[in-house]
């Protein structure tokens, strides 16, 4: 068991070192996220009263687009020098590769969220900080779902001719429940509601995460083996 | 003698295309087989099947007594592969690459092993250099170090001489002789008759997915090899 | 695979399907009473519900054959999954077209984000994506495996989609179409039942044809 997690951590660590060394992906994705915030801002009157109601939607649209850009890169480092074959030649469990890539994506998306959320609160004039502990749970559940499903689907998309556009085509329809739940729970928390009022949505998010991390974990070897 | 590698009636089809047709092969401990064959003969496919990357359409491969149908992870521990792709991460240093693969293979005393390999392949001064700045020869040496990080009993080399300058390819030949002294079992694929001949103890020729020749090197004269090769690869 | 036995099954199914579809048409247009408020347009309901049932059934077949394909690695299960998805998608399209036609007088619009209709739209998108995977994947075997995994994930997602959309609608309450509840006429129920059976046989007939087309195609490719 200890060995298993050492292997998972070795892969996460490798990807993080590699990404943080160039910062290519993360910096461009953060700029992209901020741009989405700015562009959406032009779609309504400055200072309109309904901003509070649509802001959670804008927030999650931005994060889901940003996540797709990040998820698309999940298996690209492994294509360089055909590293994926090197990885497949080692005696490790294929599920460990999935777990590592998924956890890496969770960390990656959290970094994007962490760096862009302050900008969101400034641009949209919504003070999120009193609600931060509650939001953290919702963000974690939602991002785990995005990463769980997205990691598996990006393993499919990486083998297609049009992988950049293939991933959202595969991912978005499946993510409808997650998007609804994320937007609804974020909105309710920002209105000061308690967890008990949104418990249904939280349960749905949890169920989504469990199903769409377990099933890809079990089937990942079929996706990655030749 | 017990055979370390046993390939029994292996066939592989890619849709309608036959890549390998009823291939049989057997290698004993510390033998070194050179597998000659033109491009597209199925050499890489055969190596991929023996190294568990591909599953055969029919037939069986046993490595050190374990069938690929039973336990692929155990087989992977016995095998090291050197391919024309280096399998190295460009954004990691030489040392980080070796540590990464060492952890995945579960190598004990990894630190010592990495130091030892860097020393052996003259890479100690480059240990903290990013691999993407390496020359072809340097990354080839590091790729070899990577492939034997877990000290495998069997080493497969897929077209190892491709793209090397004369100096680098001489040093590769020396490394291969070193493997031979360490009693490693090797399979090398190449279409370069001269270089493949030097390190071999056994010769095989693969063409159109079939083994056309399998002989001990002692039974073949070096002068005749190119003639035999040309005869074998003629399409029937 | 495609042999004499197949033709017998095919002819048998063709006969039954023909009879059942004729019977359901007779029931729909002659026997079943015209609904009082909606009038003749309500007849589309029998096709609509039968198609909806079939698309769910077809996607269930995709789900089951995908699991068997990954487990047994036999190509026939991949072909069944793929054939069923194509047919399911066609029936799903019928649902999406007939629904708005039927409900347009009530909604006063061609589209409403009604929970069931929206779920069907998402379902359509999921299986459209499913069909996209194979032709776009560079390696045929990898494409089949990826499609199988997607077929499993997609099917498991459907109930969650439905639940989430229903909750989403209840938060913004709105007059939801509810005319077919509250005591369906017994003849109408019988008509619905017969048309569902008829459509199910139609599905079996079409999937047998579709599977045999893929088998023949495979054989031709292997021969050349």
Confidence band, pLDDT 50/70/90 cuts, at residue C139: confident
CB contact under 8 A, C153 and A177: no
Nearest to A208 by CA among A129, A140, A156: A140
- Distance CA(B53)–CA(B56), nearest Å, equals 10
CB contact under 8 A, C140 and B16: no
Q: In this structure, what are the phi and psi dihedrals at residue B21, rounded to the nearest 5 degrees?
A: -130, 105
What is the torsional sign of CA C213, C215, C217, C219? negative
Q: What does the pLDDT read at residue B160?
A: 87
- Distance CA(A119)–CA(A105), nearest Å, equals 22
Given a cut of 50, is residue A29 above it in pLDDT? yes
- The single residue listed with the structure tokens 């989430």 is C164
Average pLDDT in chain C: 87
Q: What does the pLDDT read at residue A8?
A: 96
CB contact under 8 A, B15 and C224: no
State the pairing for strand pair B79-82/B154-158. Answer: parallel
- Calculate Rg over the CA atoms of chain A: 18
Q: Report residue B36 as tokens.
A: 């000659």
Residues of chain C contacting A180 with CB distance shorter than 8 Å:
164-165, 167-168
Q: Supply the ipTM of this predicted assembly.
A: 0.92
Of B73, B89, B106, the CB nearest to A80: B89
CB contact under 8 A, A160 and C141: no
Of A174, A184, A222, the CB nearest to C126: A174
- The single residue listed with the structure tokens 């030749």 is A226
CB contact under 8 A, C70 and A160: no
Query: Neighbouring chains of B at 3+ CB pairs within 8 Å?
Result: A, C
The dihedral over CA atoms of B60, B64, B68, B72, expressed in degrees to the nearest 10, equals -170
CA distance A15 to chain B (A): 9
CB contact under 8 A, C153 and A215: yes
Residues of chain B contacting A6 with CB distance shorter than 8 Å:
103
Given a cut of 70, is residue C27 above it in pLDDT? yes
- Distance CA(B44)–CA(A197), nearest Å, equals 60
With a CB cutoff of 8 Å and minimum separation 6, the contacts of A1 are: none
- Distance CA(B155)–CA(B184), nearest Å, equals 7
Q: Report residue B14 as tokens.
A: 């890619």
- Distance CA(B114)–CA(A157), nearest Å, equals 36
Q: Is A177 on the interface with C (CB under 8 A)?
A: yes
Q: Report residue C162 as tokens.
A: 């439905």
Confidence band, pLDDT 50/70/90 cuts, at residue A16: very high
CA distance B55 to chain A (A): 8
Quick check: A67 and B29 in contact, CB under 8 A? no
Q: What does the pLDDT read at residue C183?
A: 58
Give me the total of CB pairs closer than 8 Å, taking one residue from chain A and one from chain B. Answer: 76
Residues of chain B contacting C140 with CB distance shorter than 8 Å:
15
Q: What does the pLDDT read at residue C176?
A: 39
Q: Which of residues A137 and B84 earns the better pLDDT score?
A: A137
Q: Chain B: residue nearest A84 by CA?
A: B87
What's the 3-state SS for A172-214? HHHCHHHHHHHHHHHHHHHCCCCHHHHHHHHHHHHHHHHHHHH
DSSP letter for each residue of C152-174: HHHHHHHHHHHHHHHHHHHHS--
Quick check: A223 and A152 in contact, CB under 8 A? yes
Q: Which domain holds residue C148?
A: 2-223
Q: What does the pLDDT read at residue C40?
A: 81
Quick check: B51 and B80 in contact, CB under 8 A? no
DSSP H helices, chain B, are 43-50, 72-78, 94-105, 110-120, 136-147, 166-181, 193-198, 225-233
Given a cut of 70, is residue A92 above it in pLDDT? yes
Q: Report residue B97 as tokens.
A: 């690459």
The tally of domains found in chain C comes to: 1
CB contact under 8 A, A18 and B101: no
The pTM of the whole model exceeds 0.80: yes
Q: Which of residues B26 and C179 earns the better pLDDT score?
A: B26
């Amino acid at each position: 068991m200890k060995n298993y997690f050492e292997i998972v951590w070795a892969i996460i660590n490798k990807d993080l070192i590699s990404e943080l060394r160039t910062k290519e992906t993360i910096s461009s994705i953060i700029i992209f996220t901020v741009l989405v915030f700015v562009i959406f801002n032009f779609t309504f009157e400055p200072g309109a009263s309904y901003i509070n109601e649509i802001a959670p939607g804008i927030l999650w649209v931005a994060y889901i687009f940003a996540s797709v850009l990040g998820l698309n890169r999940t298996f690209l480092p492994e294509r360089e020098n055909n590293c994926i074959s090197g990885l497949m030649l080692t005696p490790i469990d294929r599920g460990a590769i999935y777990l590592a890539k998924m956890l890496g994506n969770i960390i990656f998306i959290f970094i994007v969220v962490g760096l862009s959320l302050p900008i969101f609160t400034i641009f949209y004039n919504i003070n999120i900080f009193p609600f931060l502990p509650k939001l953290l749970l919702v963000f974690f559940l939602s991002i785990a779902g995005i990463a769980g499903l997205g990691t598996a689907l990006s393993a499919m998309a990486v083998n297609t001719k049009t992988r950049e556009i293939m991933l959202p085509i595969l991912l978005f329809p499946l993510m409808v429940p997650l998007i609804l739940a994320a937007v609804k729970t974020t909105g309710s928390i920002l209105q000061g509601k308690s967890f008990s009022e949104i418990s249904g949505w939280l349960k749905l998010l949890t169920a989504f995460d469990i199903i769409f991390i377990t099933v890809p974990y079990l089937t990942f070897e079929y996706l990655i083996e030749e | 003698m017990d055979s370390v590698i046993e390939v029994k009636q292996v066939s592989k089809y890619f849709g309608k295309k036959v890549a390998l047709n009823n291939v049989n092969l057997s290698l004993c401990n510390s033998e070194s087989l050179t597998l000659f064959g033109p491009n597209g003969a199925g050499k890489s496919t055969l190596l991929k099947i023996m190294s568990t990357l591909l599953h055969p359409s029919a037939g069986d491969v046993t490595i050190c007594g374990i069938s690929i149908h039973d336990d692929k992870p155990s087989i992977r521990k016995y095998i090291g592969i050197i391919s024309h792709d280096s399998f190295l991460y460009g954004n990691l240093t030489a040392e980080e690459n070796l540590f990464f693969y060492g952890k995945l293979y579960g190598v004990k005393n990894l630190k010592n092993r990495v130091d030892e390999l860097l020393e052996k392949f003259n890479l100690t001064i480059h240990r903290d250099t990013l691999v993407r700045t390496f020359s072809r020869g340097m990354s080839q040496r590091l790729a070899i170090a990577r492939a034997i990080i877990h000290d495998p009993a069997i080493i497969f080399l897929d077209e190892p001489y491709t793209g090397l300058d004369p100096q680098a390819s001489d040093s590769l030949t020396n490394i291969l002789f070193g493997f031979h002294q360490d009693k490693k079992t090797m399979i090398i694929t190449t279409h370069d008759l001269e270089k493949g001949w030097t390190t071999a103890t056994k010769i095989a020729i693969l063409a159109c997915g079939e083994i056309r020749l399998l002989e001990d090197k002692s039974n073949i004269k070096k002068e005749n090899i190119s003639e035999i090769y040309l005869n074998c690869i003629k399409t029937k | 695979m495609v042999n004499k036995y197949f033709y017998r099954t095919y002819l048998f199914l063709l006969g039954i399907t023909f009879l059942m579809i004729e019977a359901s048409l007779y029931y729909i247009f002659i026997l079943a009473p015209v609904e009082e408020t909606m009038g003749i347009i309500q007849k589309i309901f029998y096709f609509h519900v039968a198609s909806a049932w079939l698309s769910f059934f077809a996607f269930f077949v995709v789900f089951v054959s995908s699991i068997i394909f990954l487990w047994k690695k036999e190509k026939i299960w991949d072909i069944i999954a793929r054939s069923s998805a194509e047919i399911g998608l066609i029936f799903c399209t019928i649902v999406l077209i007939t629904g708005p036609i039927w409900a347009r007088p009530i909604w006063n619009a061609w589209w409403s984000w009604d929970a069931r209709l929206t779920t069907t739209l998402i379902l359509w998108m999921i299986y459209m994506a499913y069909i996209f995977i194979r032709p776009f994947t560079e390696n045929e075997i990898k494409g089949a495996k990826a499609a199988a995994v997607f077929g499993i994930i997609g099917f498991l997602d459907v109930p969650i989609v439905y639940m989430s959309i229903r909750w989403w609608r209840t938060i913004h309450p709105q007059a939801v179409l509810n005319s077919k509840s509250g005591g369906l006429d017994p003849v109408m129920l019988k008509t619905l039942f017969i048309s569902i059976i008829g459509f199910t046989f139609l599905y079996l007939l079409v999937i047998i044809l579709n599977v045999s087309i893929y088998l023949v195609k495979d054989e031709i490719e292997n021969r050349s």
